[in-house]
Amino acid sequence: MKIVDSVFGKPLATSEERGEHIGVAAGIPIFGLDALTSAAYGPEAAMTLLIPLGVAGIHYAVPVVSSILMLLVIVFFSYRQTIEAYPNGGGSYTVATENLGEKAGLLAAAALMIDYILTAAVGISAGVEAVTSALPHLAPHTLLLCLVILVLLAVINLRGVKDTGTAFILPTFLFVGTLLLVIGVGVFKSLAAGGHPVALAAMPLPMPATMKYLSLWLLLKTFSSGCAAMTGVEAVSNGVMAFREPRPRNAKLALTIIIAILIVLLLGTTYLAKTYSIMAMDPNAHDYQSLLSLLVSAVFGRGWFYFLTMGSVFLALALSANTAFADFPRLTRAIALHDFLPHVFTLRGRRLLYSHGIYALTGFTGVILILFDGITDKLIPLYAIGAFLAFTLSQAGMVVHWKKEPGNHTWHMFVNGFGAVATGITLVVVLVTKFASGAWVTALLVPSLIMIMLGVKRHYTRINHEMQDPPPLSVANLEEPLVVIPMAKWDRITEKALRFGLVISKDIKVVHVHSDDDADEGLEGVWEDKILTPLRHATMQEPELVTIISKYRFIIGPLMNYIRGLEAANPNRKITVLLPELVVRHWWENALHGQRVQLLKLLLLLRGNQRIVVVNIPWYL
C-alpha cells in the first residue's frame, strides 16, 4: 500500500460515485458545523457591544437575539424552497445566474468565495485561539498550529465527502450534546429556582453602566455582530448533490435539523445569560472568559464536565472551517463550468471531488493566516457581508424563478421575497455599521474578483471562438521541415540529434556559434572526417554547416537571430529545431551543466510562431 493511498485514500473509480453520497447524519457535521458553532460566539459578539449598558445590557440582548432568530427562520424557509426547486444544487451563484443574469451571479460568486476563504481562516484561528487561551504556553506557536489544522482539514477533505463526514460526526455531536445538556439543566434549574438560580461558580459582576439608553446605532451594530451566527446556511443548498437519494428530502432534513439545533442553542444561551445575570466580559480584561465558559461553569461548576464541554467547543470551532472546505470546491466548479474560473476546478480528483478547489482554498487560507500571523479577529466583520449579499441575491433570484415557473406559486414567491427583503435590509445594516471597521475591504475585493472572472471568461471565449468547428484534417503541403541543429561540439549527444534530423528531413542546417574564445575549437576539424565522409559513403544528402562568430560570447541571441532569419527567408516552410539535451540522474547535477538548452527552448516557445517546432533529443547518462 502506497503512502499516498494511506494518506489520501485509494483512488475511487468514476463508477463508485453513488457510494460516496452521504446521509443526513453525515450531512450535519459536513455542512452544518459553521452554522452550529456560531452559537458559541454569535450571542457573545452581540452582548460585548452591550457592555457599556451594564446590567441592563443583559436584558437588551433578548430582543436582539430574538430578531436574529426571526431572520434565521425566514432564511430557513426560503432556502428549503430553494433546495426543492434546485435538486442538483442551488447555491446563490446558480440561482442568481439563472434568474437574475450573469452579473448578479458573478456578484454572488465573488461574495461567496471571499466569504468561504474568510470563514476557513477565521474558523481555524478562532479554534486555535480557544486552545491557546486555555494553554498559554502554546501561544508562540499560533501560526504553526493554524497551518497544521489547515493542512489536516485539507487532507481529510481530499479523502472525500464520506470520510470527512465520518471524521466529523463525533466532535459535532459531542459539541451539540454537551451544550444541549448545559441548556437543559440550566433551564430546569432556572425554572426550579423561580427564575433566579444560583451560579455554581463565582461570576464576574457586570461593569458599571457608562451609558443609559441603547441608541439605535448601537442596536444596529449589535444586531449585525450577532448575524455572524447565520453564515453557514448557504452551504447545504449548494451541496444537495452530495446527499443520497432522495436528495432534496435528505438535504432539507439536514438543513432543518441544523437550524433547529442552532435556534435551541441561541435561545438557550441567551435565556441562561438572563436568568443567571451573566454579561459578556471585556475581551481585553486580564481575567477574560468567554460567555460560554461562564455559562457552563454557572450551571455545572468547574468540574470535569466543564472541561469536556469547553474542549468540545474548542474542537468544533477549529473544525468549523470545514464548511468552507465542503462548499468552496462545489462553488468554484459551478463558476468554472460557466468559464469564469480556470477549468481545472471542474476536474474530479482521485476521491471524486473537485480537488483543485480544495487546493485553492487551502492556499488562499494559508496566505491569509500567514499574513495575519494566525490572528484573524479583524477579519470577522468582513465575512458577514459576503454571506448576506449571497443570501439576498439567491432569494431574489428565487422570486424570479417562481414567476417563470408554470402554475401558481404566490406563496413560494412570498416566502422567498420576504427572505430577500429581510436579508437585504440586514445586508445594508451590516454594510453601514461595519464599513469603517473593515467591510470596505470586502467592498473592494468583490469588484476586483469580478474583474478577474470576466477576464478569464474573455480568454476562454477567445479560445472557444478560435477552436470551434475544427476542420477535417488537411493533407495539403505536407513537406519536410527545415531542420536546425545547434551544435557546440561533436559528441554522442549531437550525433543522436543529427541522426534524428536525417530521418525527418533532407534539409539540415547544423549551426555552430563560435564564442571567439580559445576554448572553442569549432566544428571544422571534425566536419569533413566524422560527418560528411560517412554520409557520402551512403550517398545521402549532406547537411550544411553554419558557423556564426559571436564576438561578445553570447550564444542564445545569435542562434535565435539565425532561426528567425531562416524562418523569414523561407515563408512557406516549417522550421524544426532539434535540441540535444543531457538528462542527468540527480536533480543537483543540472547545476553542473549549462542551462542554455532550457533557455533556448523557452525563448523559442515565447518568441516563436506557428511554423517553429522544437524537438528535445534527450541523452541519458
For a second copy, the binding residues in 508-527 under the rule CB under 8 A are 515-517, 519, 526
Tell me which of 359, 435, 500, 562 binds a second copy, using CB under 8 A. 500
Task: Give me 458's grid cell.
Answer: 474573455
Shortest Å, Cβ 601 to a second copy:
8
- Closest among 186, 178, 184, 205 to 54, alpha carbons compared: 205
Tell me which of 138, 180, 556, 614 binds a second copy, using CB under 8 A. 614
Number of H helices and E strands in the chain, helices first, is 22, 5
User: Which is closer to a second copy, CB of 444 or CB of 463?
Assistant: 463
Left if phi > 0, otherwise alpha if psi is -120 to 50, otherwise beta: which for 301? Answer: left
Tell me which of 65, 219, 498, 545 binds a second copy, using CB under 8 A. 498
**594 lies in the binding site for a second copy (CB under 8 A):** yes
- Closest among 408, 461, 593, 578 to 510, alpha carbons compared: 578
Binding mask 544-583 for a second copy (x = CB under 8 A): -------xxxx-------------------x------xxx
Shortest Å, Cβ 590 to a second copy:
10
Tell me which of 490, 545, 558, 566 binds a second copy, using CB under 8 A. 490
Shortest Å, Cβ 102 to a second copy:
19
User: Which is closer to a second copy, CB of 195 or CB of 472?
Assistant: 472
From 110-118, 190-198, 229-237, 498-506, span contacting a second copy (CB under 8 A): 498-506
- Report in angstroms the alpha-carbon separations of 468 from 192, 338, 346, 552: 76, 17, 20, 48
329 preceded by a cis bond (ω within 30 of 0): no
Tell me which of 378, 403, 506, 530 binds a second copy, using CB under 8 A. 530
User: Which is closer to a second copy, CB of 55 or CB of 583?
Assistant: 583
Residues 253-292 that bind a second copy (CB under 8 A): none
- Report in angstroms the alpha-carbon separations of 538 from 79, 477, 533: 81, 28, 9
Shortest Å, Cβ 357 to a second copy:
14
Residues 3-42 that bind a second copy (CB under 8 A): 11-15
User: Which is closer to a second copy, CB of 138 or CB of 582?
Assistant: 582
**Sequence-separated (6 or more) residues with CB below 8 Å from residue 204:** 279, 281, 287, 289, 294
Residues 125, 148: contact at Cβ < 8 Å?
Answer: no
From 86-94, 231-239, 321-329, 528-536, span contacting a second copy (CB under 8 A): 528-536
Shortest Å, Cβ 489 to a second copy:
8
**Sequence-separated (6 or more) residues with CB below 8 Å from residue 193:** none
Give, in degrees to the nearest 5, the angle at Cα 504 between 498 and 508: 50
User: Which is closer to a second copy, CB of 207 or CB of 526?
Assistant: 526
Residues 40, 176: contact at Cβ < 8 Å?
Answer: no
Residues 180-219 that bind a second copy (CB under 8 A): none
**146 lies in the binding site for a second copy (CB under 8 A):** no
User: Which is closer to a second copy, CB of 214 or CB of 488?
Assistant: 488
Give, in degrees to the nearest 5, the angle at Cα 506 between 502 and 511: 75
Angle, helices 247-275 vs 161-192, to 10°: value is 30
Residues 450-489 that bind a second copy (CB under 8 A): 456, 459-460, 462-463, 466-467, 470-475, 478-481
Shortest Å, Cβ 88 to a second copy:
13
Residues 325-384 that bind a second copy (CB under 8 A): 342-344, 346-350
Residues 183, 265: contact at Cβ < 8 Å?
Answer: yes
- # residues near a second copy by CB under 8 A: 85
DSSP string computed for 143-180: HHHHHHHHHHHHHHHHT-HHHHHHHHHHHHHHHHHHHH
